[in-house]
Amino acid sequence: MCGIVGYVGPRSAQDVIIGGLRRMEYRGYDSAGIAVVTDSGLAVAKKAGKLANLITELADSPLPPSSHGIGHTRWATHGGPTDGNAHPHASYSGRVAVVHNGIIENFASLRAELEAEGVVFASETDTEVAAQLLGREAEGGAALADAMRTVCGRLEGAFTLVAVDARTPGRIVAARRNSPLVVGVGEGEMFVASDVAAFIEYTREAVELGQDQVVEVTPDGYAVTTFTGEPAPSHPYHIDWDLSAAEKGGYDWFMRKEIFEQPRAVADTLLGRLDAEGNLVLDEIRIDDAELRRVDKIVIVACGTAFYAGLVAKYAIEHWTRVPCEVEIASEFRYRDPIITPTTLVVTISQSGETADTLMAIRHAREQNAKVIAICNTNGATIPRESDAVIYTHAGPEIGVASTKGFTTQIVACYLLGLYLAQVRGTKFGDEIRDLLDELEQIPAKMQQVLDGIDQVAELARRFVGQRSLLFLGRHVGYPVALEGALKLKEISYLHAEGFPAGELKHGPIALVEEGLPIFVVVPPQGRDQLHDKVVSNIQEVRARGALTVVLAEQGDEEARPFADVLIELPHVPTLFQPLVAVIPLQFFACELATLLGHDVDQPRNLAKSVTVE
């Protein structure tokens, strides 16, 4: 959740860290703080609320010049969002400062131990326990890296810790367990951060850290060890996007920018997936074909928007492979004793690759000897590293907390996986797979067509500014789209919104329908069995009870038109691919309505982009 930045090198640490925190604020914005090492010791500034509050504080009271420091933007867990609970936290002597992402589960017993020794705590956080323990080790003569290894050996839970010692300038020590941390390698300067976006302005060379590792960085380089002190291998990689991808580029919100980036993002997800013979190739799949042919059940595990992408994938994967496919909410998965065997294929979906619930789910699956394939957007993240294979979506950075291009590229990656399994298992002929891939390659242009006519949706948002409740209906793959449309509205507009299967209306939800209630309905393409006609009947049912119907239907659908108070026309696409075009108006509607209501679209209240705690 929280965002961490550390810097050591020739530049102004305050400038580098504040710039990094700007690009990390999507990870948490309850408070922000910075600590720099100066000739006279640590200098710390921190402020509750968004980063802008800290920037104002620093403008009034600048920190002393320094080229070495750490910073943090917080999503609160232990202790409310106050100045005192903001990071960094200092040890009792004021010598060591720490920033932290995650939860230290045994902090209460450790705090009691320290208080018995006379340590007085200044905050309610679990993080301060780590600061005080590190301070105690340092005062006892331990070097900071040794102190970090000792302290990590005592901590339980998920955490990234980054620390500086006022008596050893030019050195940062960091550690990770079940929480993200990446090292940026510059020329004569080094960075540590929760995400490469923090340092992409200065370098595109990064190093991924493994589980239970400590890294010590100086301007000249870095050294990685295990928690027990053994040297550990490092894994450098090159970042394939630049600073411009992490900036707004003239848009008012990152979310709006990312909505408009979807045609390109989907095209990038599809890029380079065919070999010279026209066969689908997923180079990231490091599982033997024979093992994939033995799979008798597929389980998709994800959270939030990624879960809805998994629901879409279920329809496609079962249709193409004829293998039963379940979709599980990651936070529920391992607690219900799921039936997982060595012939089960577990597919995890996570934009960040650090989602705590999903990470715990794949560890449980691997304990049952299942094979795990990750669908992820973040190179070097924990989930793809701990999986047997990974399909990267190549969507570029997604900064807006409410996922948009993450959702559509995850669906496309799931389609690629489904078609690959169909190819390996022989449930689809080669020409059938190529035809479907040809259809997929036309989708970016179809998405752009929707975006070109998006002004209609902006007008619709203005019309619904006073509404307090909205419903979304769909059938087949339109049902997950309805769920996602409702979630987007809840996330950033703070309005009551629910998504339902249209066929369930008469089993309860129709009681919610009243005069003037807006209901968005995703209509399947014409000719899809009886689905289309049934959804048109559902529209009539709610309209007869006074609902105001917003109908998303393909161009030329004259059967749906008479029952639409507002008709949003979609391009002609195959039914299974319709979510990729149908979700765009719903994303844009939520963004536009939230803007009109005066909300912060990119940083909605109580949310953070990457949920790295359970």
Q: Are 297 and 324 in contact (CB under 8 A)?
A: yes
Q: Quote the longest CA-to-CA distance of the chain.
A: 80
Q: Sign of the C-alpha dihedral, residues 45, 48, 51, 52?
A: negative
Q: Are 310 and 414 in contact (CB under 8 A)?
A: yes
Cα angle 535, 550, 607 (rounded to 5 degrees) comes to 105
Q: Are 42 and 164 in contact (CB under 8 A)?
A: yes
Q: Are 208 and 385 in contact (CB under 8 A)?
A: yes
Report whether the peptide linkage leading into residue 169 is cis, meaning its omega lies within 30 degrees of zero. Answer: no
Count of beta carbons in the 10 Å neighbourhood of residue 530: 9
> Which residues are designated catalytic?
2, 609
What residues contact 529, with CB distance under 8 A and at least 6 apart? none
Amino acid (one-letter) located at 217: V
Cα–Cα distance measured from residue 595 to residue 452, given in angstroms and rounded to the nearest whole number = 20
* Residue 260 host element (H or E): helix 254-260
Residue reference for tokens 């709006």: 256
What residues contact 598, with CB distance under 8 A and at least 6 apart? none
3-state secondary structure of 608: coil
Count of beta carbons in the 10 Å neighbourhood of residue 3: 32
Distances from the Cα of 551 to the Cαs of 454, 476, 572, in angstroms? Answer: 14, 16, 15
Closest CA to 361 of 382, 332, 381: 332
Instruction: Say if strands 3-8 and 68-74 run parallel, antiparallel, or are unpaired.
Output: antiparallel
Count of beta carbons in the 10 Å neighbourhood of residue 238: 9
Distances from the Cα of 484 to the Cαs of 86, 417, 420, 491, 507, in angstroms? Answer: 33, 22, 26, 10, 21
> For the chain, first and last CA: distance in Å?
11
Q: Are 268 and 395 in contact (CB under 8 A)?
A: yes
Sheet holding 221-226, edge to edge: 89-90, 96-104, 157-165, 172-177, 213-218, 221-226
3-state secondary structure string, 104-135?
Answer: ECCHHHHHHHHHHCCCCCCCCCCHHHHHHHHH
What residues contact 446, with CB distance under 8 A and at least 6 apart? 571, 573, 580, 581
